[in-house]
Every structure is written in C-alpha cells, then in structure tokens.
Structure 1
C-alpha cells in the first residue's frame, strides 16, 4: 500500500479526478485543502483509494462564541 498526503494526491491528479477516485465532490477536496487538514490517501491493492484524517486524541472541538 502506498500512502500520500491529500495535497500530493491532488497535485498529481487534479481536484476533480481526486474527488472522483475518493467518492467525494471537488468542493469537498478544495475545502479540506483550504483548511489544511491532515488527510492521508492510501492506494489499496485492488487499485482503489481510501482516505483518512489524522487528528489528535482526544479531539478538541472549537467552542462557538455565544
């Protein structure tokens, strides 16, 4: 299995193709990149792709201002 960052995955394929391969929309890819999320893409043995986000545990939610 080959693992890469979402940024590298998109640079090699473009946002539309990356979105299609991951089963999401191109705007979702754009939003994840703009938010600088730590998403890793893994190429599976069958040639498909899977993505997951690395986050601290426990996750700290941002509180909304009242």
Structure 2
C-alpha cells in the first residue's frame, strides 16, 4: 500500500480520474483541494484507491 496526499495524487492523475476512482465528482475533488482538507489517498496493491480525511479530535469548534 502506498499513501499520498490528495494533492499529490491529483497532480499525477488529474481531478477527473481521481474523482472517478473514488466515486465522487471532479467538483468535490476541486473543493477539497481549494479548502486544503487533510485527505490521504491509499493506493492498494491491486490499483484501487481509498481516501481518508484526518481531523483533530476533539473538534476545535467551541462546545455549546
């Protein structure tokens, strides 16, 4: 398994192909990149990919 940031993966494969491989739209990829979300793409040995977002815990938002 190889891990890359979303931006690294998109740089190699483009937004359209990345979106198709993850089952989401190109616009969703674009928005994630624009908002600098911390998304890690895992490339499996068979070539399939999955992505995970890393977020701080607990959330940094104020509790109500």
Gaps of 5+ in 1: none
Partner of residue 59, structure 2 = 59
Q: Aligned ranges for residues 11-22 of structure 1 at < 5 Å?
A: 11-22=11-22
Could you state the TM-score of these two structures normalised by the residue count of structure 1?
0.87
Gaps of 5+ in 2: none
CA distance in 2, matches of 1:48, 1:33: 21
Residues 1-44 of structure 1: per-residue CA shift (max 9 Å, x gap): 10000000000011000101111100000000000000000012
CA distance in 2, matches of 1:45, 1:61: 38
Aligned length: 63
Partner of residue 29, structure 2 = 29
Stretch of structure 1 that moved more, 1-10 or 44-53:
44-53
Could you state the TM-score of these two structures normalised by the residue count of structure 2?
0.89
4+ residue segments displaced more than 2 Å: none
- Report the RMSD for the aligned CA atoms in angstroms: 1.6
